Amino acid sequence: MGFSKCLENYTMTKAKLWGILDGLKLILDRRFERILSQIDSLEAVNAIQEGVFSTSNSTLLRRIHQRTIQHIPREENTLADSIVKTIYDKEPGLGLFEGPPLRV
């Protein structure tokens, strides 16, 4: 399962953090209890691990029983890069998909 969301006028780190937050909400809606989140922004990974999220968002993160958040270099994150390229022409909003985009 994956999703994409077009955000306007955000820094790269803020866009990553919004994406992570939206992903966590989707995970909880689908009742997943274990996740592996690979993020190509070390700054975003550090923000999560240092508890930069607001209290309500931290509670959201704690509701996932088994979670691993790890940094992955951008060069190795080809799937995420492909997804970003597919949404450049989209209107702002959330798009869901069950498998990788056809271009991958």
Please state the domain count of the chain: 1
Give the pLDDT band of residue 12 (cuts 50, 70, 90).
confident
Question: What does the pLDDT look like over 62-74, one tens digit per residue?
Answer: 655 567 778 888 7
101 is a domain residue:
no
Q: How far is CA 53 from CA 42, 57, 83, 93, in A?
A: 15, 6, 25, 21
Take residue 19 and report the two structure tokens written for it: 């994406």
- Reported residue count of the chain is 104
Write down the pTM of the prediction. 0.59
Backbone torsions φ then ψ of 73, nearest 5 degrees:
-60, 145
Domain residues for the domain of 76 are 2-94
Q: What is the pLDDT of residues 21-74, one digit of tens each?
A: 888 888 888 888 777 777 888 888 887 777 665 555 556 556 555 677 788 887
103 located within any domain: no
Q: Is residue 102 part of a domain?
A: no
